Structure 1
Amino acid sequence: MITVSGLTKNYGGQVLYTNGSFFIGPGEKVGLVGPNGAGKTSLFRLIVGEERPDAGTIDYAKSLRVCYFSQNVGELKGRSALEEVIHGNVRLGFLKTEISKIEKALEDGEYSDEMLEKLGDYQTEFEKLGGYDIEYQAAEVLTGLGIMPDEQQRPVESFSGGWKMRIALAKVLAQRPEFILMDEPTNYLDVESIVWLESWLKNFKGAVFMTSHDREFMNGLVKKIVEVNHKTITVYSGNYDYYEKERNIRREQLIASSERQEAMLKKEEEFIAKFAARASHAAQVQSRVKKLDKIERIEVMPEDEAINFEFPKPPRSGNDVVKMENLAKTWVTPEGKEKKVFSGVTGLVKRLDRVAVVGVNGAGKSTLLKIINGMTEATEGQATVGANVHVGYFSQYSMDVLNPQNTVFDEVRYRVKDKSDGYMRNLLAAFLFRGDDVDKKVSVLSGGEKSRLILACILTNPCNLLILDEPTNHLDIRSREVLVEALKNYEGTIMIVSHDRHFLKQVTTTVAEVDKGGVRFYPGTYSEYLQAVGDH
């Protein structure tokens, strides 16, 4: 289906990969992995022709229908969500618009043989391209991604950035191409939408080439991994877990081979040094010099960096950390209508609980956390934080409170007054802000860098209740694993919302399921909760 041969690409004076090759066959589901900056997005752009390689070829049939979902969705406006998805197929969108125009003109009394002939031609082509199915498919995909039928006629510009990403993803899926490229499709999706997307892609007959920081999503879908790292492209047969194990085995074998080679080289170099001045050994010395010149040195690349930290030991809180009594929340819409989020929420979070707050999209998970953190008031009832409880709060919107004009160092210094510069630099280094990185302006940081900066800020003030709303967004898989281990060893209480199922399975000891009827607590891990409710 698609063959990449001898691919070389330089970007901004930096070599991304040299002489890389791989093949994706019909119907294959392939994962793309590698550290940030290794060239994953550039590889997608090369395949779709948005960039050109410096050497090598990317071959696939011109008739192959290829769609690309990227994180840059562009400006979406002027249509409803449903129309935007239908117009993902440009020709179908054009035909639908023209047919509507002609039908409207006919209703208004305009008439000509030319109009009727054009209408017939347009309708025939529209049907041939599957136009009469596209509206159903578009509605089905939007619903699966969490945009319900009563919202699908809303103007696309009225949706927030995360919901626009879902609409852009739906545009790709509804076209049912033969080959889909996807750059982080699970960003901004909740668990329910991720489960739906995974099922949809499993049943999709075409090929998929994707990158994702969601380990469980990758494991459930892909059967091959393409890794871009250290200027090379390497192929592994298997899912992400297999890739990780196989990669470690190959690395250990490479280290062993390198050590054997080093021992051999040292022995040969000692012989050369010992007998270089003896005429009787001149031929042997020269032979060994030539031999060493021809040997290709085995190079062991350094391990990729991941964030490295542990939460400071927090002060002990009382046993009752958060008490919720008959909580209810109602928002007032811009049109002045009341929208009930949830009601009757009663429950108790005990010291050292690790609570996963779950529920369908719109159930009010983030709102519940905001009420507990005092960021919004409950409409009814109350949430009481217990004695000696010090809260650390992280949300995907915490990044909005960062001062874009501050440097990384100044941003942390602003939030912490009583630590030395040396402590601050060591803390930032643990979150991969090293050397000149601490002088970067917040405005130029990536989403992952901003997430790491917020986590660093939380660490500077020891707290015994962590409220975490989507803490893994923008973190790569290795950094997520480090965060998992840190949270496992954290000596405080945690309430967490996350769409990463692997992350929740590793961390939580209690599940609080929020819905419009209140909240129901399930003692036990997230895996046990899924078994109890019969989920995936």
Structure 2
Amino acid sequence: MIHLNRISRHHGNQILFDNASLQILPGTRTGLVGPNGAGKTTIFRLIVGEEMPDGGDISRSPKIRIGYFSQDVGDMAGRSALEEVMAAVGDVLALGEDIRKMEASMAEPMDEDALTQLLERYGEAVESFEHQGGYELESRAQSVLTGLGIGPDAYHRPVEAFSGGWKMRIALAKILTTNPDVLLLDEPTNHLDLESILWLENWLVSTFKGALLMTCHDQEFMNRIVSRIIEIGNGAATTYTGNYDFYIREREIRREQLEASFKRQQDMLAKEEEFIAKFAARASHAAQVQSRVKKLEKIERIVLPPDQKRIRFTFDTPPRSGDDVVSMENLGKTWQTPEGGLHSVFGGISGMIRRGDKVAVVGVNGAGKSTFLQVLAKRTEPSTGKVTIGANVHTGYFSQHAMDILHPEKSVLDTVQDALPTAGLGVIRNLCAAFLFQGDDVYKRIDKLSGGEKSRVVLATLLARPLNFLILDEPTNHLDIQSREVLLEALQAFEGTVLIVSHDRHFLRSLVGRVFEIDHGRMIPYEGSYDYYLRKQMALQTG
């Protein structure tokens, strides 16, 4: 379908690709992985023609339809949500109108040759219309919008009324509704809650029949969808046949084999060079020396890719809190609506969070998870009941708005240093490195950082402070897989108490031992792991 052959691409002095090749074949489900800046988004842009290669060529099967979802949704205005999605299939709608006109023409008298030509055009148009799902366009658009969390009550809201995150969902709905032959998804889960992620996962597995190429920071989502991985890095594209977990294992095996081959080659080269140096001045060995020199010139040298080193940072043991960290008694919260009424978010919540607990707060979108965390973090007062914070509890709170308080003109190093004024420069640099800011990256200004990089700065300053109760609202948003693993390892080793909202199932599965579900304004505690909670949910659904 799509072939990138011996592609070369440079951005300034940076070599992204050097004779790299990859293929997208019909029906394949491929994950695109690699470190930030390796060129994953460039691959998408090359495929759709937004960029051109410096060398090599790109071939595409004729008439294939490509759908590309990127993080840049562009401007949206002047339409409702449903109209915006339907606009993405305007060519199909126009084709449907042409079909109706041809049907009307066929009812009129005409000579045999004209009728034959019309019937031929009509057959081609109907075949194309059916292939693109033209007969169920509106119902498909509605189904996709609903699956992504924009229900019938919001179909006709103007797109200007939606926040940036919800506009991303509308943009994703547009691409899915086109039902392309090749679907390119660049971080499709970034702005989705767990319910929408599960819907998208099911849609890709059971409904979508085309080829898929995607990047994604959600490890479990990737594992469930893809059966092939293409790794971008060091100017090359390397293919692995398997899901993400297979890729991690196979990559390690391949690296060990490459290191062994490298060592054998280096030993051989050393012996040959030693012989050449020893006998270069002897006429009796001139032929042998010349033969070995030519042999070395022809050998293709094995080059080891840079080792992606992970620096482990040992966090200080937080001060010990009392056994009872948070006590909730008949807790409730209401918000005033724009119309002046009252909206009950939750009520009647009672319970206890104990020292050392790692608790996930789950629930459908809009259930009140973030509000619940704000109440416990003392960012807003409860409307009813009370929250009692235990003895010697020092609370740290992370929300998506935490990034807004970073000083835009300060560097990463200055920001971390401000949060830990008594720490030495070595400690500060090690902390920055643990959160993937190494070398000159520590001098980057905050306003030049991506959303994921800003999140890492905030998390670094939070985890390094003497806190023993962390309240984390979607800390994994915008973090790539490597950054998520850094955070996960830090929280697993953290000796304090954690309350967390996250839509990353792998993250929750690996961390929490209790689950609080917010459901229809009530809290249901599950005294077990995230897997235990899922099993209980499955049992309830199957009756």
What TM-score, normalized by structure 2, do the two folds share?
0.90
User: 1:224·1:239 contact (CA, 8 Å) conserved in 2?
Assistant: yes
Report what 1:193 is aligned to: 196
Give, in whole Å, the separation in 2 of the partners of 1:341 and 1:307.
Answer: 42
- Distance (whole Å) between structure 2 residues aligned to residue 498 and residue 169 of structure 1: 21
Residue 82 of structure 2 aligns with an amino acid whose one-letter code is L
Indicate if the aligned counterparts of 2:435 and 2:483 stay in contact, CA closer than 8 A: no
Secondary structure at 1:397 match in 2: helix
> Which residue does the alignment assign to 2:305?
301
Who is 2:9 aligned against?
9
The Cα shift of 1:472 comes to 1.4
Which of 510, 514, 517 pairs up with 2:521?
517
Q: Tell me which moved more, 16-25 or 350-359.
A: 16-25
Task: Say whether residues 1:410 and 2:414 are aligned partners.
Answer: yes
The answer to whether the Cα contact below 8 Å between 1:8 and 1:19 also exists between their aligned partners in 2 is yes
Q: Distance in 1 between matches of 2:447 and 2:402?
A: 14
1:179 paired residue among 178, 182, 185: 182
Q: Summarize deviations over 1:467-512 as a string: whole Å, max 9, x none.
A: 1111112222122222222211111111111111011100010011
8 Å contact 1:7–1:20 — kept in the other structure? yes
* Distance in structure 2 (CA, Å) of the matches to 1:466 and 1:521: 19
Residue 377 of structure 2 is aligned to residue 369 of structure 1: no
Name the structure 2 match of 1:134: 137
Gaps of 5+ in 2: 99-121
* Alignment partner, residue 40 of structure 2: 40
* 1:453-472 correspondence runs (5 A): 453-472=457-476
Contact 1:87 1:94 in 2 (8 A): no
Aligned to 2:218: 214
Matched, 1:266 2:262: no
**Structure 1 residue 375, shift from structure 2 partner:** 1.1
Query: Is residue 487 of structure 1 aligned with residue 515 of structure 2?
Result: no
Partner residue of 2:56?
56
Q: Say yes or no: does 1:343 pair with 2:347.
A: yes
Residues 4 and 23, structure 1, Cα contact 8 Å, conserved in 2? yes
> Quick check: 1:154 aligned with 2:182?
no
Query: Which of 248, 264, 276 is the equivalent residue of 1:244?
Result: 248
Paired letter, 1:22: L
Q: Give the Å deviation of 1:343.
A: 1.4
Question: Superposition RMSD on alpha carbons, in Å?
Answer: 2.2
* Cα distance in 1, alignment partners of residues 133 and 495 from structure 2: 58
- Residue 282, structure 1, aligned to residue 286, structure 2: yes
Question: Secondary structure of the equivalent of 1:16?
Answer: strand
Contact kept? 1:9, 1:17, Cα under 8 Å:
yes
The answer (yes or no) to whether the contact 1:341–1:364 under 8 Å persists in 2 is yes
- Cα offset for 1:353? 0.7
2:396 is matched with 392
Tell me by how many angstroms 1:4 deviates. Answer: 1.6
Paired with 2:430 and 2:527, the residues of 1 have a C-alpha distance of 38
Which letter does structure 1 place at the counterpart of 2:212?
Answer: V
2:161, 2:314 → 1: CA distance?
41
One-letter amino acid of the structure 2 residue matched with residue 259 of structure 1: K
- 1:88 counterpart = 2:77: no
Alignment partners' CA distance in 1, 2:384 and 2:93: 47
CA deviation map 1:286-313 (0-9, x unaligned): 1111111111111111222556434321
2-side partners of 1:482 and 1:332: how far apart?
A: 39
Tell me by how many angstroms 1:414 deviates: 3.1
TM-score normalized with structure 1 length: 0.91
AA matched with 1:283: A
Contact 2:92 2:129 in 1 (8 A): no
SS in 2 for 1:383: strand
Deviation at 1:253, TM superposition (A): 0.3
| Cα distance, 1:423 vs structure 2 | 2.9
Does the C-alpha gap of structure 1 residues 156 and 371 become closer, same or farther in structure 2, counting only changes over 3 Å?
same
2:436·2:483 contact (CA, 8 Å) conserved in 1? no
* 1:43 CA displacement: 0.4
Shift of 1:96: 10
Matched with 1:117 is none
1:27 is aligned to 27
Give the residue type in structure 2 aligned to 1:177.
P
Q: CA deviation at 1:74?
A: 1.1
What is the percent sequence identity of the aligned residues?
58
Shift, 1:97, TM fit: 12
CA distance in 2, matches of 1:152, 1:327: 34
Change (3 A) 1:7 1:417: same
Cα distance in 2 for residues equivalent to 1:413 and 1:394: 19
Gaps of 5+ in 1: 99-120
